[in-house]
Amino acid sequence: MNQPKTIIEKIWDNHVVHQEEGKPDLLYVDLHLVHEVTSPQAFEGLRMNDRKVRRPDLTFATMDHNVPTIHRNVIKDAISKKQMEKLEENCEEFGVSLADIHHPDQGIVHIIGPELGLTQPGKTIVCGDSHTSTHGAFGALAFGIGTSEVEHVLSTQTLWQSPPQTLQVKVNGKLGTGVTAKDLILAIISKFGVRFGTGYVMEYTGEAIRDLSMEERMTICNMSIEGGARAGLISPDEKTVQFVEGRRHAPKGEDFEQAKQEWLALATDEGATYDSTVEIDADEIEPQVSWGTNPSQCVPVSAKVPDPDEVEDDSDSVRRALEYMGLEPNQPIESIELQHVFIGSCTNSRLADLRKAASIVEGRTVHEGIRAMVVPGSFAVKQQAEEEGLDKVFTEAGFEWRSAGCSMCLGMNDDIVPPGEHCASTSNRNFEGRQGNGARTHLVSPEMAAVAAIEGHFVDVRKYDQLVKG
């Protein structure tokens, strides 16, 4: 009988082009996603060396980081404009498909991959973007790469990679009502830290993970990198297969039936072992809010900001973070005054996220002094949301309703948080200056962001449900 294997080992073994003692493996890449920010220097490298894109058919480009989310034709920033034009030129010259700013397939690269059915179980997927880990939700081995590696993949369709260590993140039990996938991943990173996954590929397992929808699984895998893991994935099951079926780039007919069997067989075998395992109980997790300047610095909404004099280690980092965030030790999370709410990003801008936020916002009004915006993850998400009338729900409450892009997650376009102001954000990083120089980011779920927009400060969404029903 064959040795039981993890999905990570199975996908790896299926993609080794060349193996040699003393070298990493030469690994084949099935799908290369490209965007405007991390690709211009790679294409320029090809041009300088008179090289081609080896597999334009396995390469797919879009524009997301820089794009304006209000008026599509008004790109105020000349350098942003140039970067987008460069991508158009490069895709044209090298024969790569591009969903440009006016294309109906445009969106955040990690939202459109799954939407178009490009993302499939068992694939190796790379992109010059650390949140490529998102695609791991489908049981794909997906990870972010640098621009030199982008050039390498464009030219050779491969990467030199050492086999990773495997880490099981086992989530026992069930998430409580009102506790979301975002709270789960924040709680995982809060418990194990921002580097517990370094050097590993993670596989999320356990009952709570199986219970998650595909959208929720994407939220989990998206933030693997915030725990240090270049990739995080979830073994495929019937939910995975159903999500992919019928999408434009998914196999059709008999091919699909065959693919389905292969995909399901990728799941980690009973008895397979991991290099390491960590465990967390889902039923103990509460809605989370980040208070600091890295994603591990978060606490339950009912808790207080920590006191640097009382933490066990790295009190300097806590002190620095509180200073940057303008927070007092022991300040209750619910007392933090907010000025901005951002619902968007590759973590939480899918239709399911917007529906959940809208269900809270419906019939209510954004709190005075709050600027709130919703930025759908893709053109398709926007369109579907509008068909369902979600845009009206948001705009009638006082939210701004924008076009698709990365937007305020990293403020490369005009959507930024001014210095010293606090933002409840459904994005993935609360680093210093991430949403704008001096901006103070609090990472939360879409549900928590929606409640915060209405109330002007953080409120436990579970209590809010009761208030509303009562």
- Please state the residue numbers annotated as binding site for [4Fe-4S] cluster: 346, 406, 409
Is 151 a residue that touches other proteins (CB under 8 A)? yes
Establish if 59 lies at the interface with other proteins (CB under 8 A): no
Q: Any contact of residue 195 with other proteins (CB under 8 A)?
A: yes
Contact status: 225 vs other proteins (CB under 8 A): yes
Helices (H), 271-422: 315-325, 351-361, 379-387, 390-397
Rank residues 64 and 391 by Cβ distance to other proteins and give the closer one: 64
Which listed residue (162, 242, 258, 273) binds other proteins by CB under 8 A?
A: 162
Q: Is 77 in the site for other proteins (CB under 8 A)?
A: yes
Residue 437 interacts with other proteins (CB under 8 A)? Answer: yes
CA 420, 424, 426 angle in degrees (round to 5)? 130
User: Using the rule CB under 8 A, which residue among 410, 423, 451, 453 binds other proteins?
Assistant: 410
Q: What is the dihedral of CA 442, 38, 411, 77, to 10 degrees?
A: 180
441 binds other proteins (CB under 8 A): no
Among 155, 172, 276, 384, binds other proteins (CB under 8 A): 155
Handedness of CA 345, 348, 352, 356 (dihedral sign): negative
Question: Is 224 within 8 Å of 192 (Cβ atoms)?
Answer: no
State which residue, 422 or 462, has the beta carbon closest to other proteins: 422
Q: Could you tell me if 423 and 435 are in contact, meaning their C-beta atoms sit under 8 angstroms apart?
A: yes
Binding residues: 346, 406, 409
Token digits of residue 317: 């980092």
Member of 7, 31, 33, 37 binding other proteins (CB under 8 A): 37
x/- letters, 322..361, toward other proteins (CB under 8 A): ----------------------------------------
3-state secondary structure of 442: strand
User: What tokens does 351 get?
Assistant: 């239709």
- Is 315 a binding residue for other proteins by CB under 8 A? The answer is no
Give whichever of 212 and 412 is closer to other proteins, judged by the CB atom.
412
CB 443 within 8 A of CB 186: yes
Among the listed residues 72, 103, 147, 276, the single contact to other proteins using CB under 8 A: 147
- Interface residue with other proteins, options 5, 32, 110, 230 (CB under 8 A): 230
- Return the range that interacts with other proteins (CB under 8 A); candidates 1-9, 80-88, 105-113, 261-269: 80-88
Distances (CA, A) of 366 to 213, 318, 361, 369, 370: 29, 32, 8, 9, 7
CA distances from 453 to 9, 130, 348, 363, 470 (A): 44, 29, 16, 13, 20
Which of 382, 356, 426 lies closest to 115, judged by CA? 382
As measured in angstroms, the least distance from the Cβ of 271 to other proteins is: 28
Q: Minimum CB separation from other proteins for residue 208, in Å?
A: 26
Place of tokens 């939202």: 111
Buried b (16+ CB within 10 A) or exposed e, 270-308: eebebeeebebebeebbbbbbbbbbbbbbbbbeebbbeb
The CA-to-CA distance between both ends of the chain, in Å, stands at 59
Rule CB under 8 A: say whether 146 interacts with other proteins: yes
Q: Are 333 and 452 in contact (CB under 8 A)?
A: no
| Whether 141 contacts 233, CB under 8 Å | yes
Residue 451 near residue 360 (C-beta atoms within 8 A): yes
Near other proteins by CB under 8 A: residue from 106, 124, 130, 445: 130
Region near other proteins per CB under 8 A, out of 19-27, 204-212, 239-247, 363-371: 19-27
- Six-digit token string for 433: 């200056």
Sort 104 into a burial class: Cβ within 10 Å, 0-12 / 13-18 / 19+: exposed
Cβ closest to other proteins, residue 301 vs residue 435 = 435
Nearer to other proteins, 254 or 316 (CB): 316
Q: Contacts with other proteins in 96-115 (CB under 8 A)?
A: none
Tell me the site size for other proteins, rule CB under 8 A. Answer: 65
The Cα–Cα gap between 88 and 63 comes to: 9
- Is 74 among the residues that bind other proteins (CB under 8 A)? no
* Residue ranges in contact with other proteins by CB under 8 A: 17-18, 22-24, 26, 28, 37-38, 40-41, 44-45, 49, 51, 54, 65-66, 77, 79-80, 82-83, 86, 128-130, 144-149, 151-152, 155-158, 160, 162, 194-195, 198-199, 225-226, 228-230, 294, 314, 316-317, 320, 410-412, 419, 429, 431-434, 437
